[in-house]
Structures are given as C-alpha cells and as structure tokens.
Amino acid sequence: MDFYNSYAHGFARVAACATPTAIADPATNAATVIAQAKACHDQHVAVAIFPELTLSGYAIDDLLLQDPLLDAVEAALAEVVAASTDLLPLLVVGAPLRHGNRLYNCAVVVHRGRILGVAPKAYLPNYREFYEKRHFAAGDLSTGQTLTFGAGAPDRRTSIAGLEVPFGTDLLFSASDLPGLVLHVEVCEDMWVPVPPSSVAALAGATVMANISGSPITVGRAEDRHLLSQAQSARCLSAYLYAAAGQGESTTDLSWDGMTMVYECGGLLGETERFPDGPVATVVDIDLDRIRQDRLRDGSIDDNARTYEQWSGAFRTISFEVAPPAGDLGLLRQIDRFPFVPDDPARMAQDCYEAYNIQVSGLMQRLRAIGQPKVVIGVSGGLDSTHALIVAARAMDRLGRPRSDILAFTMPGFATGATSKGFAWALGEGLGVTFEELDITPVARQMLTDMGHPFAGGEPVYDVTFENVQAGLRTDFLFRIANQRGGIVLGTGDLSELALGWCTYGVGDQMSHYTVNSGIPKTLIQHLIRWVVTEKFFDEAVGQTLTGIVNAEISPELVPAGEDEKPQSTEDAIGPYALQDFNLYHVLRYGFRPSKIAFLAWHAWHDPALGDWPEGMPADRRTGYDLETITHWLEVFIKRFFAFSQFKRSALPNGPKVVHGGSLSPRGDWRAPSDGNAAVWLAELHDALPD
C-alpha cells in the first residue's frame, strides 16, 4: 500500500472550475478549458467540472440557434476531446448540442480522448430573467437514448463527427479503479426543482453529483445556492460539486459571479472567491469511504430506492479508469485535530450550548421521573467529576430546587494531591452544595490488610488491586450514602474513558444510578467547562476554580509518587486524549480502517503550525505527533477498544447521547460482543504502514 497516497485511502480529488467566457467564441473557450484541464491534471484531479454552456457562453440568446455557432461548438468540443487524451481528469463541459429536431443544453462528459456520455438539462427555467424554452428542449424524458455528433452539419466534418454516445439524464459514470466514485451530472435549474435528477441518481448509486450552472448573480442568490447544494449533499449522502458562469458572460441585463464550491454530506469542503478575474477552481479531496460508510449504516437510502425503483432502476452505467498517480499527493481538505470540538468559535459556542443542555435536561427528566431524589456525587477536583457537578447544579437551578440537594463528597486516598483536593473544596463551597470529606484511606488500608496485599506490610506495591480498592470503596460509599439519604449516585465517567476501558468495573466508577458524561469525550469536556466559565452561569470565584481544573494535568491520583517522581498521569498510560478521541471518532462514526485513521491523524497532527486550533486551547498544548507516536497509541486504542473493554460498556448505566460522533451505549449506537478480539484491525494497520 502507498501509505501517503490519498487515493489509496479512499479519497478522490475533484475540481469545480470557473473560467472566463469568450462570448460566442467556442474555439477560445475550448482553449481556456484545455488550459484549466491541464492545470487540474498537474494537481492530480480525477474529476473537473466547468460551467453551463462552457463552450458557447450562456447569455448569447438567439445566437444559440445559429448553425455557424453550433458547428463551431462541435469543432471546439472535438479539440477538448483530443486534448484530454493524456490528461488525468474526467471533464464535464457545457455545450449546446443538436439532437433530433431540437437543441439541448448539455453537459458533455469527456475522458482520455473519449466522450463517455451527454447529459441534457432536464428542467428549463422560463420565468423572470430566464427564457430557455425559447431555445432548448427539456431533457427530463430523454432516457435510454444516444446522440450522434455531426448530424446537424454533414458538410462540416470534425474528429467526433458520426460518433454515437449515450444521451440522457439516466447516466452514471463509474470509476473502475476507484471504488465508490460514481458520478452523475445535472445542469443548473435541475437542482432547484422539488425532485432533482441527482436525487434519483443517488438512489441508483451515484455518490458524486456535479452541477454545471449558468446562474446569474443577484443579491441573496449565492446563499440559496449554498443551501441547495448543502441540503442535496446531506440528503443524498454524497458529494456535490457546483460551478457557475462568471467573468466574460454578457452583462447586457445580468451579472455573473463565477461561484464554485464542493459539499460533502452536508459539509462545505471548499469554495473560491466570487467575482474572480481569470480562471479559478475549488480543488478538494472528497472522501468516498465516508460516503460509502454513511450509506452502509443508513439503510433508508436503499429503502427509498425500492419505493422509486421504476426511476432509479433504469440508469445506465458507463465505466472509466482514472489511473491515479502514486506517491504523496498531499491531502486537500481540512482534517480536524479535535473532531468532537469545532475550530470555529461560533460553532463551538453552539455545540457547547447544546451539549450542556442535553446533559442538564437528561438529568432533570430522570430526577422528575423517580420522585425528585437528591443527587449523590463524588468530587475529586478533576475534569469529569467537576463537569458532572456543574451539570447537576444547573439542573437543580432549573428544577427550582436548592443546590444543597446535591450531596457532594471528596474522598481522598493514598495519592490524592493537595491541589485537586483544594479544587474540590472550592467548587463545593462556591456552588453551595452540601459538601463533605470522607477519607477512604483507613478503610482501604484495612481491606488491603485483610486481603494480604503487600502494601499493607509496607511494600511499595501499587498494582491494579491497590488502585481498584480505592476506586471501588469510593463508589461503594456513594451507593450506601444514596441509600441512607434518599438519593441517586450520579456517574462522572466520560466517553473517552469508556472507549479505553479506563474505569473500574462494577463497584467502581463504571457504575452509577444515572450518568451525564457517558456521551461526552474528554476533549469536549475541557471546552465545555471553559464555555460554562465564559457564559458566567456561576460566580467569578467558581469560574476561577473551573479554569484551574481545566488547566491541570489529568490524573487518577491512585498511585503515590516518590519525592522526585512525576505524579501518576492518565495520558502516560493510555495515550494523549487528543489522539485517542481522534481515533474514537473515526472508528465509532465511520468505521474506518486503522490505516486510514493513522493517515488522517498524521495529516491532522504532524505539524502544529498547520491548520486551526479550537479557541481557548493553551499554547503549551498545541503540540504535534509523528507517525510512530500516532500508530503506537492507535494500537493501544485498538487493543483496548476491541479486545478488552467491551464488557464494561455492556453494563453501562443510563445516560444521554450527546455528540454526533456517537455513543457507546449497548442500547443505542454501539453493540458489540464482550469477548471480541482486535486481530483484524491490528493486522490491517501493520500491513499498511510504511517500512
């Protein structure tokens, strides 16, 4: 496997191009297209699309019905076809073409010296500034047909004269060597109708939709195009390429902005500046694996296809071979370092608002449903228990109950630090909850003695038993206190810990009566707490305490550190949460191969200077990771997630799903055998890594 090659990982490079138009000058327009096609070839593009009526110009009115112009279009198209012979991209070019007794507004699909097919515009606008029915015939019923070039000009021979090619809106173009690249082409107005041709094409298997457009610009229309392209790509679980006419089109009564953009499953991958001078192109890598995986999980598309089989079952498929280049081609799309945490501040605020309120409303409903018990929670002064506590405090506020109905306990053990204990006390007092300290060390020491553990005899043996005695006692106390005082134990463990099995099973932090953090990854919790501080839900003193907690190193504080030793670190044991949350997202949300996850992680993390960081991320945490580090912790994740920790998730207490990446509830997003193994995932990773 060519590990650093994007095509090897299921990506396809596409380009939505806007080129200057020479009005009614097909030869010049063909030369412009050829030059841009060569530029796309140099950028390793597999599919490049151009605006509507590329070769003639869109706004030429009745010139469209002049034979000299139409003859010149076919000659220009022949030049494009000839020039494409040694070029990588499949080209989609707009042209007015004669067919039968009528003229059609067409998208011509060209690749390596061949015309693969012609897709006519299905729906013709004939309102306000548009009057296309004056010149063109609608192509909505033109399925199963062929078009013969040169039939309208028998005395003007070109290299494509006499060529018969598939013609209709029922064409799919499938790459034989790029699984998942199945292209459908529509023209401008086709995406503005209630049932676009691309919707039916998606039901037939199209994964990439192209819209070549001549849409003139008016105030607000660019936003409409975005909304339509976004919605179509999201609804059809596909990529959607859009290219509009621009510079050079006639401004007799209209103007043009040369808008280009690419969406994938509802997300904008890229766009160019509008109103350009000269040619522009949105060049991005679309993720065919993602599209395929989304459709694999979402059976509704196939169900919908059954309903409309009389339409979707009638498509013709034309095969072509891309033969993508080898080697490192880079990756032309943004890979979020923190897929659970948006880089955009406005989106971050919106996500935090939703996440926090999902947690709060989930807890409120549970408390209402079981008679408004008190909430019992262990507070260590670490991230998870802190966040669960401020969720509980907000829930009490909204229920109109006193925060004193939250019974919070800090339970220091053998390795509890003064800093975290101080945070716990400051938080409890600042929030006005009922707060108590319960030292577990005497009971833990007695238990270790009764067990005959070496630590009880003075030996520095800090094994998993030593750790779990402390974790188990804390949970045991909380459950018994809940019995005694009429409460429920509120769990604090998060999604990241559940994925890695970093929790104590049964009588331990894995269990509670209800949990609010089980749907929140560690990296998001950090930003949620920062957001709570920014929103000033609590007073300034509490805000300062919360900020200190977020900035502290993550530690279970179960193993004592020597005088010159570093305190116990969770991330030293199971890996940086930044990487492990990255791995979790791409396994849980998309089911990607480990080699692809490593490839994505390398692009996201190998250079800290590249890309965006979430707002509020401290400078000292803006680090990078090389491929060796990435794959080491990915192996740890694979072993722990697939082969070790499912039994803990199979007995997960109730708690709300929060993030779009998924949850690990055995009643919801993730159902897996507790006795699984990781051999297949590890083998795939090892086989794909570079030597």
* Count of other CB atoms within 10 angstroms of residue 654: 14
- Of 320, 355, 370, which one is at a domain's C-terminal end? 320
φ, ψ (nearest 5 deg) of residue 105: -90, 110
- Is 40 a known active-site residue? no
Contact between residue 287 and residue 8 where contact means Cβ atoms under 8 Å apart: no
Contact between residue 47 and residue 90 where contact means Cβ atoms under 8 Å apart: yes
Structural domain includes residue 325? no
pLDDT at site 429: 97
User: What angle (nearest 5°) sits at the alpha carbon of residue 452, between those of residues 447 and 453?
Assistant: 80
Q: Which of 17, 40, 106, 188 is catalytic?
A: 188
pLDDT at site 157: 73
Say how far apart CA 585 and CA 594 lie, in whole Å.
12
Q: Which of 52, 79, 189, 264 is catalytic?
A: 52
Structural domain includes residue 646? yes
Specify the DSSP class assigned to residue 642: I
- H or E element in which residue 75 lies: helix 67-83
- H or E element in which residue 185 lies: strand 182-187
Beta bridge partners of 245: none
Structural domain includes residue 334? no
Structural domain includes residue 338? no
End-to-end CA distance of the chain: 11
- Of 255, 287, 320, which one is at a domain's C-terminal end? 320
What is the bridge-based pairing of β-strands 267-271 and 280-287? unpaired
Say how far apart CA 240 and CA 229 lie, in whole Å.
6
Q: Which of 17, 74, 79, 121 is catalytic?
A: 121
State the total domains in the chain. 2
Q: What is the token pair recorded at 547? A: 């900020």
> What CATH code is carried by the domain that includes residue 441?
3.40.50.620
pLDDT along the chain (691 residues), means of 10: 95 98 98 99 99 97 96 98 98 98 98 98 92 94 93 73 96 98 98 96 98 94 96 98 95 93 98 95 99 94 90 91 97 96 91 97 98 98 96 98 98 94 96 98 97 95 95 97 98 97 93 98 95 94 96 88 82 96 98 98 96 86 96 98 96 96 94 96 97 83
SS3 618: coil
Instruction: Provide the edge-to-edge strand list for the sheet that holds 487-491.
Output: 434-437, 406-410, 374-378, 487-491, 514-515
Structural domain includes residue 3? no
The amino acid at residue 488 is I
Distances (CA, A) of 627 to 273, 471, 600: 35, 35, 10
* Count of other CB atoms within 10 angstroms of residue 493: 26
Q: Which residues contact 599 (CB under 8 A, 6 or more apart)?
A: 3, 4, 9
Q: Please indicate, yes or no, whether residues 519 and 607 belong to a single structural domain of this protein.
A: yes
- Is 264 a known active-site residue? no
Q: Please indicate, yes or no, whether residues 675 and 534 belong to a single structural domain of this protein.
A: yes
Q: Please indicate, yes or no, whether residues 586 and 648 belong to a single structural domain of this protein.
A: yes
Say how far apart CA 595 and CA 634 lie, in whole Å.
10
SS3 2: coil
Say how far apart CA 258 and CA 276 lie, in whole Å.
7
- Is 596 a known active-site residue? no
Strands (DSSP E) found in 342-390: 374-378
Q: What is the token pair recorded at 618? A: 């401290």
Q: Please indicate, yes or no, whether residues 277 and 390 belong to a single structural domain of this protein.
A: no
> What CATH code is carried by the domain that includes residue 18?
3.60.110.10
Say how far apart CA 633 and CA 486 lie, in whole Å.
43
| pTM of the entire predicted model | 0.94
Q: What is the token pair recorded at 656? A: 């709300």
pLDDT at site 561: 83
Q: Please indicate, yes or no, whether residues 381 and 316 belong to a single structural domain of this protein.
A: no
Q: Please indicate, yes or no, whether residues 315 and 182 belong to a single structural domain of this protein.
A: yes
pLDDT at site 357: 98
Q: Please indicate, yes or no, whether residues 58 and 178 belong to a single structural domain of this protein.
A: yes
Structural domain includes residue 311? yes
- H or E element in which residue 208 lies: strand 208-213
Q: Please indicate, yes or no, whether residues 349 and 315 belong to a single structural domain of this protein.
A: no
Q: Please indicate, yes or no, whether residues 398 and 525 belong to a single structural domain of this protein.
A: yes
Q: Please indicate, yes or no, whether residues 300 and 415 belong to a single structural domain of this protein.
A: no
pLDDT at site 483: 98
Question: Which letter, b or e, does each residue of 550-571 get, where b requires 16 or more Cβ atoms within 10 Å of its Cβ?
Answer: beeebbbbbbbeeeeeeebebb
Domain that holds residue 238: 10-320
Q: Please indicate, yes or no, whether residues 235 and 377 belong to a single structural domain of this protein.
A: no
Q: Please indicate, yes or no, whether residues 295 and 384 belong to a single structural domain of this protein.
A: no
Helix residue ranges, H only, 370-463: 383-399, 418-431, 441-451
Structural domain includes residue 336? no
Strands (DSSP E) found in 506-633: 514-515
CA nearest neighbour of 338 among 635, 615, 6, 594? 615
Contact between residue 279 and residue 20 where contact means Cβ atoms under 8 Å apart: yes
Say how far apart CA 639 and CA 628 lie, in whole Å.
17
Structural domain includes residue 136? yes
SS3 574: helix
Q: Which residues contact 548 (CB under 8 A, 6 or more apart)?
A: 423
* Count of other CB atoms within 10 angstroms of residue 141: 12
Beta bridge partners of 287: 11
Say how far apart CA 145 and CA 147 lie, in whole Å.
7
- Of 320, 355, 389, which one is at a domain's C-terminal end? 320
How far, rounded to the nearest angstrom, does the alpha carbon of residue 322 sit from its chain's CA centroid?
26
The amino acid at residue 105 is N
